[in-house]
Structure 1
Amino acid sequence: MVRYHYALVDDLISREEFDRRIEKKIEACGNLADEVAAALLVVRDLGRSHVKIKGLRGRSSLFCFYAKILAYSEVKEFDRADGNKGLVARVTVADETGQTDLVFWDEQAAAISESFEAGEVVEVIGRHGKSLKEIQPLNLRKTHVEINCDMNPKEQRQPERKDIDLMFISLQPAKTFTRKDGTTGEMVSGIVGDAGGTARLLCWDAVMLSGLTPGMAVHAGGVLEKEGDFGGREIVIDENTQISPVVQMPEIPYIPLGEVKPDQTVTVSGHFVQVLPPRPFTRRDGTSSWVRNVRISDETATLPVVLWDDEASRTFLTGEKVIIYHVPARVGRTGETELSVGRGSCLIIVPEGGERISIDGTIIESPEGKVIDNGVQAFLIEGSYQHGTEIILHGIMSGKRLFIEGDEKTGISLEIVQTDLKQFLESLESA
């Protein structure tokens, strides 16, 4: 049972810390509380005893919440991959903050309508289903909690075609997918922005975005705009979309740090006021990665930011200006609102002032980060340049960083020299 309680807060503290707090609670209660009761107290202290439905899109594995039953779907039969039959049913529930669907399978699907009635309030412990729009219950019980909400289920907003001026903020490498008819194609995902904010991008024909890079903008006619499976806006470019040059670059709005609230996806700007070193961690699947804590500030507030994976490995300097696009806000371990920068967000360091220069030097992987060094000066850079490459870089020099706008290769890279030398030595050995 304690593992279920830990799953309610597993994005906030480690299991070791959770167990330590349980022991401390038991001691504080004079050893009168058992492990389960102490676990409930720890969960409550972390603000996760119960969440509202609007908070069901957080990062924890499990959620506990109260909801009123609005409606049942019909029990549907379907064919499983192994040839057996399965049953599925949905129950729409709500509170004063929103609504969601509970998904039941097989025996539970057949019995759910006989166990509970519309209008009853239930306590749910569950996890996300196939998307953040649905919950698969692990435990469900009736309660006497009162919830005042509209008893009419809200229909899901259908996707609609729109004409939008879009700026590409980030684009991922094309991925191959298989259609239902067995043919394959290439799709591109990323983040885009317009006057209404940011959105996740899905393009089902990679050729349509050929030649486009982050920072460029287009007029996209006939895109599909909808709510994404994992929350937020989603923009879909498909065969019915027409891409043309943009008349005016869209201005993407961002909000002051002092106005950021949990359970929002926002775009913010500020300066680094604290940069801590990255540290390794192990994911649940056993793979290793990096996490890093920094703080950014503007004239309204200072907020903690957690950087994950590749973002945690980048080089950042205190005082640098940053824009973070499409970043989720949540309640952190200390109870403070924090921003979590992962695969679905984009962090850009912005030059302040500076001058345009060209520098002819060598790419070096230094302890401080990747730099270009000409023997007299060295500037931090970002990009896929290999260590030892001789190159001319053009860009904006701002502080200790060069913001690259173009390059010209002038020599042979160290990697090529090493490869040629290896081949030469092998030829001597075989002679």
Structure 2
Amino acid sequence: MSLEEKVDLVVKRTGVSRKELQQLIEKKKKEMGGLISDEGALHLVARDLGVAFSEIDEYKPVKVYVKDLRPEMRSVTITGRVNRIYPVREFEKRGVKGKIASMIVSDLTGDIRVVLWGDHVDLVEKEKIREGMIIRVIKGYIKEGLKGELEVHVGKGGSLEIEPEGIDDKEYPVIEKRLVKLGDLVPEMQDVDVEATIQKIYPTTIFSRESGEGKRKSVILSDETGNVRAILWNESAELVEEAKEGDVLRIEGGYTKLGLQGDVELHVGKLARITLKPTKEQDKKRTVKLNALELGMSAVDVEGRVVEISNVKEFARSDGTTGTLASLVIMDETGSVRVVVWDEQVENVIDAEPGDILRIKGGYTKTGMKGEVEVHVGRFSKIELISPEEQILQVTPKSTPPRKFLFQLENDEFVEVRGTIRRLLRKKVVYETCPTCSRRLNGNGLCVMCGKVEPVLSLTVNALIDDGTAVAKALFTGREAEKLLNMRAKEAFEIAKKEGDEAAPLKMRAYDIEGRELILMAKSVLNPSTGKITLKVYSFKEANPKDEAEKLLSSIESVKQ
């Protein structure tokens, strides 16, 4: 059937004049942004007038893609896959109550929010439309959303087809949902999905607005990449009233903003979907032993004795601001772990000394430079530092590793060893290291991780220790090396430079050190090539004969009992 024959058919069946029909065709083309031909517009006008060509004509109207949509369009027909459905909301306008539903529909060219009104909302409430389905919107109209983005609205004049026939599934790909890690959040992100542990809950606040009373609830979320403040508004705030710290909160369709203190906040409004996963009683948060730490743990509580402290370091962020970090090594009776403290939390550990107890609440674990587990302390974590004097007052039990002989040691044990320093190995003692990651710099002064840096000097002392059952190499680094030599790194550097001998500082102190009996708190590391154990020393003290005698008597008494 030709175009002219179709015009005659519409005139005959509807009674409109050819001039009126031409005006309707031009109006329809304008509504569609000029994207359709005269014949395509005629088909749409004929359908509006109750005339269907489908039984006598094979003509297929032009496809309209998401990228083609314009603000002035009316009577839009568009097809797409439903990739997200938002909760149905109720509203009241001029005393009349109603419901509204919305979803994100996508095709190969992009995605757009489709808003359903009136009876169309039932399709969502009764789950006749589900995520993953392909739908066709007929006679929708384009509006601008609150943020200026385009939306397709479907009111009483429009309709929906679910899984329409003749559709090429490949044109409507399934968009894989991806949860965003908290550490990857940046300002001005839209439709963000996260799943994280609730670390802290703040009371709900009530505020006044034009439409009545509003609610705002703030929680701190944590995952293995960091912490973030989430702010839930009105209906979303009500959905988490029964939440408890330790519960897992899944947020779909949140958005991020820059907070008052320059940090990223996650906001949860009326279009978001919230799922709360309560924590079982047996899984409630408790202090985790250090040997039980795993990657990906969030809102974790740990406690241990400080055995190693690094200098506070400054670094430049990608946005040009300066941050600070400090790192410590703590131990308990099961093992040791490096703790990395960030920014304002550094002030809480600036006075830490070996022997202090460090309690951390709401930390999170990450991978260290060498693939090991680290505990990180961010803005929303809590730190408590307890000095030895305070420990006596609080009757805090000491986290002392088990005493072992050298011949008993296996790989990766955290132990206490009593032995005599037989010999200092005459090796290079002063190294240039990276101020950020503490790695040794290469010959060109470059850090393999951080690039060009301003180096800092660090000491490393290798010694042979003998406990009567075996001999092992003990490695003293950083402050423990300075303590052993009774010499700062800069002083050792000047001595080595003056003498022209990299081992000169060791030779100078060997007479005072060799033959000393020490108690080491250390980690055993097995060299798979040689089969020999090296002790990485975290702290040490002089062996006290009286204390050792009392310990021996105590162990004899326990055996008798």
TM score, norm. by length of structure 2: 0.27
Higher strand share: 1
Higher helix share: 2
- Structure number with greater Rg is 2
Q: Which has the higher contact order (CA 8 A, sep 6+)?
A: 1
TM score, norm. by length of structure 1: 0.34
